[in-house]
A and B are shown apart, each in its own frame.
Chain A
C-alpha cells in the first residue's frame, strides 16, 4: 500500500528538480558544471518513476478495496458553500498515466543529455523540462477539476517556454506564441465549463456532501442535478463541449490543430515529450478522466461530437502528414492523427454507452470506455517519443530535418534505423507491436457503436502506414543526399560551415539507449506481461488476432483486426512502390494529383484562413476595428469631451480671476452682505 505522501512526492520530486536547477544551478553554477542540472533532473524523475511503479503495483495488487483513493487537502473556502480542495485521485487511470509520463520523461531526459550537449541554454532546458513533467503528473493525479486546471495551465506555460526555447529564432518565438494563444483560446471553453459545473451542480453537490469539482463524485452529482432539474440536458451538453474545447486545444484536434506542427520549432526532446506524454495527451486524458459524464444518456450529443471531431482529425491530419518533407512535421501530423483516434475511441464508446438500451450493456461499455482510448495513449506514448528521439538522432547526424536531404542512413545509423522502423511498424498498427493492439480496440468499438466513423479510422490506418513508411524509405533507404552542413552543431565551431561535409554517424550511446528502452516498450507494451496487461488493467478487453485462426469464425468482430492489418500492410506496400522500388514515379503522382497535393502541403490553407481571414479580416478589421472605432470615437470622445467641458468652464472662471485683491475683496464683501441678508430674512420670516 503506497502512503499518501509518496503519491504527492511523484509530483514534488520533479518540482524539486525545477527549483534546484532554476534557483540554484542557473544563477550559481558555471557553464562547465551545467551537466549536473541534467543529473538532478534525471535523478528526480527517476524517483518519480520508482514511485509511479509502486503506485501501479499498489493499485494492481489491492484493486477495488483500496482504490480509487482520494487524497484531499482543504485549501480555502469562498462564501458559505464553496470549498476549494486540492486533492489527488489514485486509481487505475491516474496510476497508468503517471507511469507513462515518468517513463517517457525519464528516457527523454537521458537522451537530452546527448542531444542538448553544448547548448547555451542547457540549464534552462533542464529547468523547464522537470516542471513540464511535474505539471503533467499533476494533471494525471489531480482529483479535482480546479487543481487539474492549475496543472493544465502550467503544462501550457511550460510548452510555451520550451517550444520557444531557442527564442532568438523568430520562427521559434512565433510558434511558442501560437501554441500559447491557440491553447489559451481553447481554455476559455474549459473555464466556462468549470463555471457551468459550479453554477449547475454546486447546490446539489453540497446537499450530497460532496465537493462539486471532485472528479470522482462528478458523475453522481451530475446525475442528481439532472434528475433534480437543476441542470438541463442542453446546459449539460454545453458543459461537456466546453471541457472538450479545452481538451481539443491541448490535443490539437481540428480546428485547433494549427499550433502542433509549428511546435516542432522547439528542441527535439521537447517535441518528444509534448507529443508522447504531456501536453497533447493532457486533452485526451481529461476526456478519459471525465469519461462517465460523456457516457451518461444526456452526454450523447457531446460524445458524438468528440467521436466526430476525433475521427475527422485523424483522417484530416493524416492527409497532411502524407506530403510533408520535414520528418518532424510528419511525426507531428501523425500525433494529431493518433490523438484523433484516441478521441474517436473515447467518443464512440461514450456514444454507445449513452445510447445503450440495456443498463447492463451501458455499464459494461462505461467500464471499458476510457480503457481503449487510454490504452492507445499508453502504447502511442512509447513509440511516438521514440520516433521523435530517432528523428532527433537523424538530425544530429545530418543537420537537417528535411527528408529530401537524407537517404541511405540505415548503413550509417543502424540503431536509429532499427528503432525508427519498429516505431513506424508500431504506429502503422502491425501485429504484434503495441500499436496493433491498441488500434484494434478502437476500431472494434468504432465498428460496434458508430460505423460511420469506423471507415474514417480505417482510411486513416492506410494513410498512417503510408506516411510512416514514406518517411522510413526517404530517410533510411537509397543513397545519402548530403544533409545540411550549415545545420550541424559542430560546423559552427569549425567556422567554415559552407565547406563542411556531412559525415553521417550513429549518435552517442546516451542518445541511443533511451531509444532502445522505448523501443522495447513499443514492442511489448501492448502485450500481456505476466498476468497483467495495460488494457486489462484499465478494464478493457482483448479482441485478439489469433481468434479467427483458432475458432474459424470470420464474423465482423474477428475479421476487423485482420482487415486493419491488411489495410496497414497495403499502405506500407504503396509507400514501398513509390519511394523505395520506384515502380511508380513520385513526380508523376505529384503531377497527377497536383491540386490535392498542394492543398495538403499548404495544410488546407488553414493557417492562411486564420491569419488572413479570421485574424486580419474578421478580427482586426471587423471586431477589433469596431472596438477601435468605439475606443477612439466614443471612449476618447467622452474623456476628451469631459476635459474640454472643464476647460471651457474654467475659461469662464478664469476671467474672474483678475489677480487684483481688491476685486476679490469686493466679491467677498458682496458675498458677506448676501449671507447676512439671507440670515436676517431667515430670522424674521
Chain B
C-alpha cells in the first residue's frame, strides 16, 4: 500500500479532532495547552504533506518553512500560555479552566 496524501490528511484530521476535543473538554489548563500543541502539529503534518504531494517534482520547501514558523509560534504561545496558567494559579490557586470565568458578561 502506497502512503499517499490522503493518509496524511486523515492522520492530520484525527490528530486535530483529538486536539480540539481535548482543548474543549480538558479541565486542566496544562492539558488544554498540550491539546493545542496536538492541533498545531496536526496542522504541521497537513502543511508538509500538501507541500510534498502537490508539487512533487520540484524541491519546494514552502510547507516545511511554514511548519517551522508554526513550531516557533507554538513555542512562543506555549510560553505565554504557561505564564497565564501560572498567573491564574497565583490568583485563584487552581488551574481548572472552569473556574476561570472572569470574562463572563
Contact = CB atoms under 8 A, between A and B. Distances in A.
Interface of A: 654, 657-662, 665-666, 669
A662 B102 CA distance: 13
B97 A662 contact: yes
Contact of A660 (B20, B23, B100): B100
B105 A662 contact: no
Nearest to B104: A659
Contacts of B100: 659-661
B99 to A, nearest CB: 9
CB-CB nearest 6 A-B residue pairs:
A659-B104, A659-B101, A659-B103, A657-B105, A665-B24, A660-B101
B62 interface: no
B105 A660 contact: no
Contact of A658 (B20, B23, B25, B101): B101
Contacts, number: 33
Contacts of A669: 20, 24
A408 B100 CA distance: 99
Contacts of B105: 654, 657, 659
A660 B23 CA distance: 12
A662 B23 CA distance: 7
A74 to B, nearest CB: 63
Nearest to A659: B104
B25 A661 contact: no
The prevalent SS among residues of A at the interface is: helix
A661 B23 CA distance: 10
A658 B103 CA distance: 7
Contacts of A659: 100-105
Nearest to B99: A660
A112 B104 CA distance: 76
Nearest to B32: A662
Contacts of B25: 662
B24 to A, nearest CB: 5
A659 B97 CA distance: 10
B98 interface: yes
A669 to B, nearest CB: 6
A659 B102 CA distance: 6
B24 A662 contact: yes
A669 B25 CA distance: 12
B23 A665 contact: yes
A666 B25 CA distance: 9
A659 B32 CA distance: 16
B98 A660 contact: yes
Given A657-B103, A659-B103, A660-B103, 6 more contacts: A658-B104, A659-B101, A659-B104, A660-B97, A665-B23, A669-B20
A654 B105 CA distance: 6
A674 to B, nearest CB: 15
Contacts of B101: 658-660
Contacts of B24: 662, 665-666, 669
A661 B32 CA distance: 11
21 contacts: A654-B105, A657-B104, A658-B101, A658-B104, A659-B100, A659-B101, A659-B102, A660-B97, A660-B98, A660-B100, A660-B103, A661-B100, A661-B103, A662-B23, A662-B24, A662-B98, A665-B20, A665-B23, A665-B24, A669-B20, A669-B24
Nearest to B20: A669
Nearest to B98: A660
A662 B103 CA distance: 12
Interface string B36-66: 0000000000000000000000000000000
A654 B103 CA distance: 12
A666 B103 CA distance: 16
Task: Find the residue from B20, B24, B102 having the highest chain A CB count within 10 A.
Answer: B24
Contacts of A666: 24
Contacts of A660: 97-98, 100-101, 103-104
A458 to B, nearest CB: 86
Contacts of A657: 103-105
A303 to B, nearest CB: 74
A658 B102 CA distance: 9
B53 to A, nearest CB: 22
Interface string B70-105: 000000000000000000000000000110111111
B7 to A, nearest CB: 21
A669 B105 CA distance: 21
B51 to A, nearest CB: 23
A18 to B, nearest CB: 62
A663 B71 CA distance: 26
A303 B11 CA distance: 101
A657 B32 CA distance: 20
A659 B103 CA distance: 4
A236 to B, nearest CB: 67
Contacts of B102: 659
B64 to A, nearest CB: 27
A662 B24 CA distance: 5
B34 to A, nearest CB: 14
A659 B104 CA distance: 4
Nearest to B21: A669
A654 B102 CA distance: 14
A654 B24 CA distance: 21
Nearest to A660: B101
A661 B97 contact: yes
Task: Find the residue from A658, A662, A669 having the highest chain B CB count within 10 A.
Answer: A662
Contacts of B103: 657, 659-661
A665 B19 CA distance: 12
A665 B32 CA distance: 12
